[in-house]
């Protein structure tokens, strides 16, 4: 019974475009400490992440206000791809793994279309990860 629930959860995540990456798939290069130059580049990366956080919040807020799940389900993968591109270009692979594995945050509300709830929950969890990442970058530099 428990195994079926896990399979259903993985199937649901894959429909949302999420993927699970195991920690042992990482190499030592993926988790190597940052150099001073990389730390300086973190500030530039943070400047790219903050607008993506704002864009994600705007998409989520628009869905909560309008209940337009078609727009959210179309916009979420594009937004997520932009975030993943920024993470790939500016950080080691471990940040991308953490982003992809960000836990969804439940935000079901009255009148909300279930067709958009999964995207909203996944997006909310990923926005939370990005907020945490910005906090890490601020404290690390």
- Closest of 100, 18, 126, 107 to residue 63, by C-alpha: 107
What pLDDT is attached to residue 25? 53
Question: Tokens 């179309």 — which residue?
Answer: 74
Angle between helices 69-90 and 114-140 in degrees, nearest 10: 30
pLDDT digits (tens, 9 = 90+) for 79-121: 999 999 999 998 889 999 999 999 998 877 777 778 888 899 9
Classify residue 27 as left (phi > 0), alpha (psi -120 to 50) or beta.
beta
* pTM strictly above 0.75: no
- Three-state DSSP at 36 gives helix
């Amino acid at each position: 019974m428990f195994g079926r629930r896990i399979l259903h959860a993985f199937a649901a995540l894959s429909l949302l475009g999420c993927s699970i990456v195991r920690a042992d798939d990482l190499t030592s290069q993926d988790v190597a400490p940052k150099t001073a130059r990389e730390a300086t580049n973190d500030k530039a990366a943070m400047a790219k992440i903050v607008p993506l956080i704002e864009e994600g919040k705007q998409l989520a807020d628009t869905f909560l206000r309008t209940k337009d799940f078609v727009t959210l389900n179309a916009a979420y993968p594009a937004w997520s791809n932009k975030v993943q591109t920024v993470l790939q270009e500016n950080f080691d692979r471990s940040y991308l793994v953490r982003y992809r594995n960000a836990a969804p945050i439940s935000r079901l509300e009255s009148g909300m279309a279930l067709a958009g709830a999964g995207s909203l929950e996944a997006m909310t969890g990923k926005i939370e990860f990005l907020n945490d990442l910005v906090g890490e970058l601020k404290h690390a530099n």
